[in-house]
Amino acid sequence: MYGYTLVLIMGEAKRRKNLGIPPRERTEDINLPQLDKKAIQQKVRSTLYKYPIIPLLFYGAAILILIGGLFYAYKSFIIA
């Protein structure tokens, strides 16, 4: 029984070697594009300086969602 469990947990490289199959060929690594954080920060800052109302809109929307969630929770748990 011990030998059978050893076969079950055998790695792919060892299994390929025992079967006489050549090792698996390596695939090329995927090169992800590098992000330029400074350029992104500069774009965001320039947009916020150009449109200063954007943060106020986000904060307003967050407050409205919070108030709506509290109202929904109050209405759903109210006992009539």
**Residue 34 identity:** Q
* Banded pLDDT at 11 (limits 50, 70, 90): confident
Range 26-31 average pLDDT? 79
Range 28-44 average pLDDT? 90
8 Å CB contact between 24 and 12: yes
Give the per-residue pLDDT at 43.
Answer: 96
Cα 60–chain centre separation: 27
pLDDT at residue 1 tops 50: no
pLDDT at residue 49 tops 50: yes
Domain ranges of the chain: 35-80
Range 60-74 average pLDDT? 95
